[in-house]
Every structure is written in structure tokens, then in C-alpha cells.
Amino acid sequence: MAIMETIDLIALRNYSRETSQPTHPELLDARPIEHVNKIEIDEEHVTITFDEHTTRYYNANEITHREWVYKYNDDPAFVKAVRGVIEQARRHLKDLPENVACPPGCAECCSGYEPFVTKADVQRIADHLGMSFDAVLREYVVERPSADGYHLGWLRKVSDDVADQCVFLKGSRSGHYYCGIYAARPNDCRDFSPIGCEDVDDSLPRKSAFKIGPPFAPKHRKARRNGKRL
Ligand code: SF4
Ligand code: SF4
């Protein structure tokens, strides 16, 4: 978990005039510093770059980067204060990402993203569902072949809304979701890492008994079960 800390700039305040930083304490940049990306120390400055604010959209995050820059002087109190800031920033550099594993039943990513599929993915899903390659392509894939021919398109959503759920997602609500074709899911889904995932549904308990329901069944099979002819 990222630690929220406030930089103690009290010692720095006394030196602000010489270092051309703001002279009023309330103008000093003493906000919490976290998500540190980089620490640069040269002969005159220490510069800490961090993510100030993250806005989450369904398939991308907009991050405001900020730099915290202080100019050195060689006064021991100033040096001590700057060292404190550097040490704090280093601790944040070593922080684990906030999310290292998916809470059971979370599937925010299965609603926000369109996993690309290759020929091998479509074939695996076809074998898994007992359907033909062409039928899977027609029913479950939005066809948009990539220029190199590697991807055939991406998995359909349950509606035309791109933010809707993946056609293979099962379960009634967050905390109960599961992939209906888990063993045959596309490589894109296998590769999706929960580490640092910002889409996670934080309201879900991390430890809960989670029962997976029946797997995804193609429409034609459901219809046959109900005695209908296609
Ligand atoms: S934690 Fe992230 S990667 Fe895991 S299921 Fe939730 S949204 Fe997907
Ligand atoms: S195939 Fe499964 S893992 Fe992949 S997006 Fe759909 S429901 Fe999620």
C-alpha cells in the first residue's frame, strides 16, 4: 500500500529566500508525495518526479506528473531536511503497487477492455465450446484484422456499447463475476496483470468464499436443451 506522508519542509522554510523558493510557508509544496517515478540529484538540485493525480477512464488513465525541485545550499539543517525528503521518496520508490492480486469476483477489466484475439485464440475457444472456427468468429468476435494479420479482431460485448461486459463474462454482479471460458480465454486476458491495476473494485473483500457457477454455454446449445430447433 502506498504510504501517505507529508514532507516536513519546516526546516527548508528558513532557507527559501536563498534558494528562490516561496517565502510563505503556506506556499511551500508540502502536499503528500507518493507514486514517485524518479529521483534526480545533481550538484545544485534535487528533483523528485511523481504522479500527482490520476483520472481513470474506462480504458486509459490520465496522470498529472509533477516535479518537486529544491536547490541545495550547504547549511547542515537544510541538507538534513533535503535528505529526509530524498529518503522518503526512496521508500516510495520501493513501495509495492497498490493491487497485487484480483479480489475474488472482480471483473472490472472484463467490462472495460476489448481483448484482441488471434487465430489460435479463436480455435481454442471453438474447441472448448464445441463450435466451428467460423461460428466463433461470427458470433463472438468483432472482426478487425490487424495490418500484420496476427489479430483477427476482439471479443464482442453483450451489447454494442464498448464499455459493456465481455460476452463470456458470467455472474450476476461484482464479487460474483467469473470468466465463462476461463480455460480457453484469449492470451490477451491471460497476460492482463492485476499488479498495480487501478480498475480494481476496492469494495470487494479480499478473502471470501467464491463459488464459480456453470460455464458459458453457446446460444444454440441452450436452445437445444430447451427443445427448440434452430
Ligand atoms: S483487480 Fe484488475 S485485473 Fe483483477 S479482475 Fe479486477 S479489474 Fe481485472
Ligand atoms: S474472455 Fe473471460 S477473462 Fe477475457 S474478457 Fe472475457 S470474461 Fe474476461
Q: Where are the domains of the chain?
A: 10-93, 109-225
Size of the chain in residues: 230
Cell of 219: 446460444
User: Does the C-beta of 142 come closer than 6 Å to ligand 1?
Assistant: no
What pLDDT was estimated at residue 18?
Answer: 45
| Residue pLDDT, tens place only, 67-102 | 777 666 556 666 666 666 667 666 666 655 666 678
Element (H, E) at 152: strand 151-155
- Give, for ligand 1, the residue of 58, 99, 212 to mutate: max count of ligand atoms closer than 8 Å to Cβ: 99
What pLDDT was estimated at residue 96?
Answer: 56
Helix ranges (DSSP H) in the chain: 10-13, 76-93, 109-112, 119-129, 133-140, 187-191, 219-225
Q: Which of 8-17, 76-85, 170-179 has the lowest mean pLDDT?
A: 8-17
What pLDDT was estimated at residue 207?
Answer: 80
Closest listed residue to residue 180, CA positions, set 96, 133, 110:
110
Q: For residue 89, what is the DSSP state?
A: H
Task: Grade residue 193 by pLDDT with cuts at 50, 70 and 90.
Answer: confident
Q: What's the whole-number average pLDDT of the chain? A: 76
As a whole-number percent, the residues of the chain with pLDDT over 90 amount to 35
The answer on pLDDT for 129 being more than 80 is yes
CA distances from 117 to 45, 72, 173 (A): 49, 54, 25
What pLDDT was estimated at residue 149?
Answer: 87
User: Does the C-beta of 179 come closer than 6 Å to ligand 1?
Assistant: no
Q: State in Å: Cα 111 to ligand 1 middle.
A: 10
The answer on pLDDT for 211 being more than 50 is yes
CA atoms of 78 and 17, how far apart (whole Å): 12
Ligand nearest to the CA of 192: 1
The answer on pLDDT for 136 being more than 90 is yes
Q: Which protein residue has the closest C-alpha to ligand 2 atom 5? A: 110
Q: What is the mean pLDDT of residues 16-23?
A: 46
The answer on pLDDT for 225 being more than 70 is no
The answer on pLDDT for 52 being more than 60 is yes
The answer on pLDDT for 29 being more than 90 is no
Q: What is the mean pLDDT of residues 188-200?
A: 84
Q: For residue 187, what is the DSSP state?
A: H
User: Does the C-beta of 204 come closer than 6 Å to ligand 2?
Assistant: no
Q: Which of 12-21, 93-102, 138-147, 163-172 has the lowest mean pLDDT?
A: 12-21
The answer on pLDDT for 22 being more than 80 is no
Task: Grade residue 8 by pLDDT with cuts at 50, 70 and 90.
Answer: very low
| Residue pLDDT, tens place only, 148-167 | 889 999 999 999 888 899 99
